Amino acid sequence: MATPREGLAARRKAMGYSQERLAETLGVTPGTVGRWEQRKSTPEAWLQPRLAKVLGLSVQELIDLLRPCSGTLAAETVDADRLERALANPSKVDLVTVAEFRQRVSLLSVRYDAERSTGLLAEAGQALGQTRLLREHAREYRVKRDLLAAEAEASTVMGQFVWDASQRRDHDTAKEHFTAAAAAARSVNDPVLEAVALLRTSYVELYGTENPADGLVLTERAAGVARGHSEVLTGLAELHSAEAHAMIGERVACERSLGRALDHFGRISGDEPVVEMFSETQYDRLAGSCYLRLNDAARAQATLERVASQASSRSKSRSIVLANLSLAHIQQRELENAAAVLHAAIDCVETTWGGGGLKVIFGAARELRRWRQEPVVDQVYDRLFTMMAAS
């Protein structure tokens, strides 16, 4: 019976990759790939989304493939003992332990799109609390510095989870975590972590408080901080600047920002520090939303349909795409299509309970209210009532 890591080698071969070609694709050495397959090491958390994509797997399928088998239990015990010793004697924490904390937070972030945030909050809160404890007591400069970076990452994840679990209502707590993350990142002069925190804060203003002017200030600030350090983050900031312009009704400025985003995404290299934050569907997803806000429903529909055919079938982002696609159909008074797509959005959100998807779904339902007497619309309302009653 094959072990999980032997399964990794088999998957690589099934996809037609040699160790050398896979290594070149991922920007690592062939020896690194060999160590993964020989159970001597595990791919870094930030690299796992890219590896999953190359191997034609979801991130969760890759995590399952990498799950330690019984032969690695001794190593797991050593890791657990190291963490316990660090928490019992925080002044003696070392760089290896800090790296393990950062990987734990990174894996939480990977799980976010497919799991309910309410189920992840406790783990994220524990990781943040432990990181702060260790940072307060650490003695070595390098350890303190890495712990501040870990705290920035954990605070960002915590803010993301809190906001999503509250169905995008608890804006203040989310922003407190993002502000703490940005401050920690600045203290170690890490523009990438700072830009991530600023970008997350802009989402609260754009999609929570629905304040596009303040959101635009934050997206432009995030782009400025990320520029020269991350093409992915600069491109994402430009994408959300485009949506801010669309919310204000500025089509020309919106399309300029969309163009700049495409330029940055086209320059992504193997040195990109946050490649896991990039997805091939992001541009179309945000562009579709922009055209929807600009009342160009036909163009929004064509773009969003393209995304819907590519996105993961049970992800939080897919629920938003489908709900926006339903709105595009509603704007064109295509009730049957709108209802069918909204049912698909509800299917997604029942699994992940994503706050963004829920908000857009209920926004679409409000737009359908004028046709409540139509059977196809009444069925959507019945479905929503059932979903909320069961939650």
DSSP letter string, 285-343? HHHHHHHHHTT-HHHHHHHHHHHHTTS-TT-HHHHHHHHHHHHHHHHTT-HHHHHHHHH
Structure tokens at 95: 């760089």
Write down how long the chain is: 391
**126 CB neighbour count, 10 Å cutoff:** 12
pLDDT at 323 over 50: yes
Which whole-number Å values give the CA distances from 223 to 46, 198, 214, 228, in the listed order?
Answer: 21, 9, 14, 10
Write the DSSP string, 237-284. HHHHHHHHHHHHT-HHHHHHHHHHHHHHHTT--TT-TTGGG--TTHHH
pLDDT digits (tens, 9 = 90+) for 237-266: 999 999 999 999 999 999 999 999 999 999
Per-residue confidence (pLDDT) for residue 77, from 0 to 100 = 44
Per-residue confidence (pLDDT) for residue 319, from 0 to 100 = 92
Least confident among 121-130, 172-181, 247-256: 121-130
Which has the closest alpha carbon to 380: 332, 346, 356? 346
pLDDT digits (tens, 9 = 90+) for 15-64: 889 999 898 888 778 888 887 887 667 776 667 777 887 888 876 677 77
pLDDT digits (tens, 9 = 90+) for 61-73: 777 777 655 444 4
Q: Do 222 and 195 touch, CB atoms closer than 8 A?
A: yes
- Would you give the DSSP letter of residue 168? S
Q: Do 131 and 154 touch, CB atoms closer than 8 A?
A: yes
Residue labelled with tokens 């070392």: 94
Query: What's the mean pLDDT in 118-135?
Result: 94
pLDDT at 76 over 60: no
Task: Report residue 33 CA to chain centroid gap.
Answer: 26
Per-residue confidence (pLDDT) for residue 72, from 0 to 100 = 43
pLDDT at 344 over 90: yes
Q: Do 248 and 212 touch, CB atoms closer than 8 A?
A: yes
Per-residue confidence (pLDDT) for residue 266, from 0 to 100 = 96
Which has the closest alpha carbon to 39: 83, 80, 7, 78? 7
Return the SS3 of 89: coil
Per-residue confidence (pLDDT) for residue 103, from 0 to 100 = 83
pLDDT at 377 over 70: yes
pTM: 0.82
Rounding to the nearest 10 degrees, give the CA dihedral for residues 13, 14, 15, 16. Answer: 50
Encoded amino acid at 294, one letter: L
Per-residue confidence (pLDDT) for residue 361, from 0 to 100 = 96
Per-residue confidence (pLDDT) for residue 365, from 0 to 100 = 95
Compute the distance between CA of residue 289 and CA of residue 283 in angstroms, rounded to an integer: 10
